Structures are given as structure tokens and as C-alpha cells.
Chains A and B, each alone.
Chain A
Amino acid sequence: MGIIKASKLVHEFIRRDEEGNVESITTALDQVDLDVKEGQFIAILGHNGSGKSTLAKHINALLAPTEGSLWVDGMDVQKEENVIPVRKTAGMVFQNPDNQIIASVVEEDVGFGPENIGVPTDEIWQRVEKSLAAVGMTKYRNHSPNKLSGGQKQRVAIAGVMAMEPKCIVFDEPTAMLDPNGRREVIRAAHELNREKGVTIILITHYMEEVVDAVYIYVMEKGKIIMDGTPRQIFARVEELKAHRLDVPQATLVADELRRAGLDIPAGILTRRELVEAILSVRESRRG
């Protein structure tokens, strides 16, 4: 079993009126199966309301399944005694950095988590040191978080999660509120954690450009997983992605246009470099 495993996971939001009668039921997750191996970098795509965040909140035991099961590192999240260990295993970074920074000095903010779980003081400082270094924010350890840019704040938030030493981190749209520079910083930090510390990463986003380096992608819509595969398999299905109103990297779109105009361009182009190579090889073959 992988570090995160969901089997037929269902979550229903039930709205009640003032008398407590059920007014409406929204199925946010509908029979979701997921299997993430330890050390993987996977991505979950989908637009607003597709159920991505609901899924993320299950992984962190913030929500409990209505039906089906979910195991985090082999622990069943439904069991009351597993809630705290699950949260220690799977950390979470949210969309808005301003909502998750609480201290007035960067290093204190990073130390807040480990202090809460009763880590001895010496070790807290060691963890703060390591976490800040891992996201490249050591220089700002004595700064006030208020004066940092969005990308820097988000990196402090990541360091705060890191300091809890989770095996897995769920990033729930960590870049939605950042400018292009901030976005790059955060995605780079996530990849480094994955590569260097072996942390399992689950990246939830709607920016396609951010997921091309993931090993596996799940696409969600209306609470269901509607596509899954490697980035190359997913992005080969341009028409389908567009029909689900998802964004496709521009290089993939140009490749698709060219292919439809009759050029011999392979499906599933993800990056600019691949596209340039494909176009040049078309040109070669025409010359030859």
C-alpha cells in the first residue's frame, strides 16, 4: 500500500435548514480511488468546485469520509486515535499565505508547529534552521512576515510545515495568489523538498504549467477522477482537457494546432524544448 491510499472515497456535504431537516446534499467526492507511493510527486488538477480541496482535507483528517476509506501511511483516517498521527504524517500548505502565518517573526512562525507537538527546545531550533534553509529563507529569519512578498510568505508557510517533519505535504493551490516570480519560487521549493528530502508531494493546482514535472496526474471533475496518467498521457488528450475547461500549456496548444494543420508532430508535447525539436525534425524530414 502507498503512503496515501483512497478506496471508493465519498464525501457528502449536507445542508440543513433551521429545523434541522436536510435541505440539500452535495456530493463533493464520488467514489475516488487514489494510490500515491512514498516519495512521489503527484498533481491533482481540476477547476473550482471539482472536489480537489475536499480530497486534500481528507488526507489531513480535517474532513472524515462519508463512505469508503482512506489510509495515510497505513493508518485509517476514520479512527479517532489516528487523527493526530495522520496530521503529523501529512502536512498541508494552503492557498493564502496570510491565513497561515501567525507569529510576528519568521523563525518563530516556523517554530510554532514543532513547539505545539512538544518537540524539545533545542530540537525546535535545529528544525527551524533546517526548514528555513530548505526553502531558501534563512536570510529572512529575523524579519517580520508582513514585509515579505507573497512567494516568500508562502515559502515561510512551507518551512512551518516542514518543521513538523511530515512524510507527505499536500499543497492546496499554493500559487493561486502569487505573481509569476512567486509561483516559480514555490514550485521550485516543492520540487526540492521532494528530490532532496524525499517528501511525498501532492500538488493541487489549476495551473497546468506547474504539473508537467509531476510523475503522475489525476484530473478531477464533479468529485470524480475523470483522467489519470503521466503528464504526457494527460496532455496528449488536448480536446478532452479543453472540453473539461482546463488550461493546457501553450506549447501543447501550439503543437496541437500544428498537428491538426497536418504537420507530423507527436502527441503529448509538454515543454517548449520538445516542441522546438519536433518542429525542427519536421523541417529536416522535408528537406531530406
Chain B
Amino acid sequence: MSIILDKVNFSYSEGTAYHIQALKDVSLEIPDGQFIGVIGHTGSGKSTLTQLMNGLLRATSGSIYVDGEDIYDRDYNMKELRHRVGLVFQYPDHQLFETTNFEDVCFGPKNQGLDRKEVELRAYEALRSVGFPEELYFQPPFDLSGGQKRRVAIAGVLAMKPKVLILDEPTAGLDPAGRDEILGLVSKMHRELGITIILVSHSMEDVARYVERLIVMNRGSVMFDGTPKEVFPHYKELEEVGLAAPQVTYLMHELRRFGLNVDTGATTVKEAAADILRALQNEGQRK
């Protein structure tokens, strides 16, 4: 499912003293099946962007097309859009409220008006695909660890079978192990279910490792849009807006400064190590 944003503007509290323009002339095209990372410091417009995409906020001006249809068209089925573009909020696990984990996951599909059998089927499917342990299905959600709660919350959105899944900092507050598990899970869902993933994150190391396309937001505008390899060489500009490149990017640039002919586009530990070895080897041969 493709999403196109055409010159989208969004302001909070327009016409009052608290007027803030959260998005300025944002144009983006999101084709089917991409794994996209959105980064930007607090207040850069990332969350506004995600909420526009599933119709929770309405653009002040500009248009949004989902599968070629204008979502601001009077006849457009906004409710349907929210089922197709699933949004997992930051700290979604704070919103678990049913008596059991299973019931909590049922909530979304139940609201879609599906019959009980289909609802339960989807809940099973969703809980299974997030790797949630079966013995906990009918336990209350309150005793779970942070990582497990987060899985239930993600399953709740997955059960609505969205075509696009937007995750707003899905790993905030989790430890490294929990973080790797959740990101591994998201990456697996992307591969196996073929859905479009939009991952909002603060961690450059994480996005470098997982996403194929990176959108950098700054003050309500798109600052960079490209593969991590294309974006991270702009680390100086990223720093100016309160972001940073992954640690290895800096390492490669420093080595370059000392004359070692390494690829400054390396963004992960494995790439960097392999490239340093290659560069040292090459030097040896030249001699």
C-alpha cells in the first residue's frame, strides 16, 4: 500500500499565541513494502508525521493519498484507513487494559466488527507472530516484563492486519536484550508478512542496522531522505540538529583522516571491521 504526502503542512493551535508549525511542506512517497526509519530530535515533527499518515491528525493544508485515494475526500473511509495503517504508540504497553493478554489483543479486531471466531483466530495469529509464550495468553498483562508487554501491544495492532505498521520508538525504556528482540521481531514481520514498516527511533545504531531507507526530520521538514549509507556521511549536519551518526561512521572518518583508505559509508560494526581489514590488506599489497 503506497502513501503519498504532497506539500503537507500541519500547525498546532493555529490562530492562538501557542501556534506551532509542526510540519512544513512535507512531500514524501512511501511505496509498498519498504522498511523505513524516521529520525529527528524531540519536537522535529516525527510523531506528527506518523499521526497524519493514519488519519489521527488532519493536515492544515496539502494532500495525502493512500493507494491513490485522497484521504481528505469527503467519501473517504477514515476508519478503514486506521485499520490499514496500524500505529503503535510510544509506551504502548501503558495502554494494556483488558483482563487477559489474549482479550487485549482481541480489542482491535473486535472493533473492526469481525465475528468472534475471526477475532480469536487473528488474536492467536498475532500473538504467535510476535513470539509471545502460549502459557501467558490468558494471564493478566500487568505482571509481564517490559519487553513482553510491548509484544502484546504490538500484537494488538497486528491483529487488525494492517498493511502499514508505524512504530513510534518501540524500544524506548527497554534494555539492550529487549531492544534487540523487538527490533528483530519487527524486521521478521517485515520479511514474512511483507508489510511496510515505519520505525521512529532515536538510536542511529539501530536504524543503521535494520532499515533500507532513512528519513531525517528537522524542524518540521525533511532534512535527508535516502539509504543509511547516503545519509550518515552528512554526520556534521546531523550533529548540528542534535542527532549523530553511528559510532562507526566517526571511526571510519577518523581513519580516513590518517590516510587509511577506508569506506566512510560503513554504518555497522561488521561492515566497518571488514572494510578496515580490506584497507590494511590493500596497503600491504601496494608496498
Q: A residues near B, CB below 8 A?
A: 47-49, 95, 149-150, 176-177, 179-182, 206, 209, 245-247, 249-251, 253-254, 257-258, 261, 263, 272-273, 275-276, 279-280, 282-283, 286-287
Residue contact B173 to A177, C-beta cutoff 8 Å: yes
Within 8 A of A (CB), among B232-272: 242-244, 246-248, 250-251, 254-255, 258, 260, 269-270, 272
List of 7 A-B pairs having minimum Cβ-Cβ separation, nearest first: A257-B273, A47-B175, A250-B247, A247-B176, A245-B177, A181-B242, A206-B175
Known: A179-B202, A181-B41. A49 touches B176 (CB 8 A): no
Let me know if B277 is at the binding interface, CB within 8 A.
yes
Residues from chain A with Cβ under 8 Å of B246 in the complex: 250
Residues from chain A with Cβ under 8 Å of B251 in the complex: 250-251, 254, 272, 275-276
Residue contact A279 to B276, C-beta cutoff 8 Å: yes
Of chain B, the residue at the smallest CB distance from A206 is B175
Known: A253-B269, A254-B272, A258-B277. A48 touches B260 (CB 8 A): no
- Option from A149, A275, A276 in Cβ contact (under 8 Å) with B42: A149
Residues from chain B with Cβ under 8 Å of A257 in the complex: 269-270, 273
Residue contact A261 to B273, C-beta cutoff 8 Å: yes
Of chain B, the residue at the smallest CB distance from A272 is B251
Measured between alpha carbons, how far is A150 from B242 in the docked complex, in Å? 13
Stretch at the interface among B51-59, B113-121, B210-218, B279-287: B279-287
Residue contact A246 to B176, C-beta cutoff 8 Å: yes
A51 to chain B, nearest CB (A): 13
Measured between alpha carbons, how far is A247 from B206 in the docked complex, in Å? 12
Residues from chain A with Cβ under 8 Å of B248 in the complex: 250, 254
- Option from A48, A246, A280, A287 in Cβ contact (under 8 Å) with B258: A280
Interface bits B145-170 vs A (CB < 8 Å: 1, else 0): 11100000000000000000000000
Known: A258-B273, A258-B277, A279-B276. A180 touches B242 (CB 8 A): yes
Main DSSP-derived SS at the A contact region: helix
Measured between alpha carbons, how far is A58 from B205 in the docked complex, in Å? 34
Q: B residues near A, CB below 8 A?
A: 41-43, 145-147, 172-178, 180, 202, 204-205, 242-244, 246-248, 250-251, 254-255, 258, 260, 269-270, 272-273, 276-277, 280, 283-284, 287
A210 to chain B, nearest CB (A): 12
Kindly list 18 other residue pairs between chains A and B, CB separation below 8 angstroms, not including A48-B146, A251-B247, A272-B250: A47-B175, A47-B178, A48-B147, A149-B43, A176-B173, A177-B173, A179-B202, A180-B204, A250-B205, A250-B251, A253-B269, A254-B272, A254-B276, A276-B255, A276-B258, A283-B260, A286-B280, A286-B283
Measured between alpha carbons, how far is A14 from B147 in the docked complex, in Å? 23
Residue contact B277 to A261, C-beta cutoff 8 Å: yes
Residues from chain A with Cβ under 8 Å of B180 in the complex: 245
Residues from chain A with Cβ under 8 Å of B176 in the complex: 47, 206, 245-247
* A-B pairs with beta carbons under 8 Å apart, 7 shown: A149-B43, A180-B242, A180-B244, A249-B247, A279-B276, A282-B280, A283-B280
B182 to chain A, nearest CB (A): 12
Of chain A, the residue at the smallest CB distance from B40 is A179
Residues from chain A with Cβ under 8 Å of B250 in the complex: 272
Residues from chain A with Cβ under 8 Å of B272 in the complex: 254
Known: A48-B147, A276-B255. A179 touches B41 (CB 8 A): yes
Measured between alpha carbons, how far is A286 from B286 in the docked complex, in Å? 12
Measured between alpha carbons, how far is A286 from B280 in the docked complex, in Å? 9
Residue contact A179 to B258, C-beta cutoff 8 Å: no
Residue contact A263 to B258, C-beta cutoff 8 Å: no
Residue contact A177 to B277, C-beta cutoff 8 Å: no
B48 to chain A, nearest CB (A): 16
Of chain B, the residue at the smallest CB distance from A282 is B280
Residues from chain A with Cβ under 8 Å of B258 in the complex: 276, 280
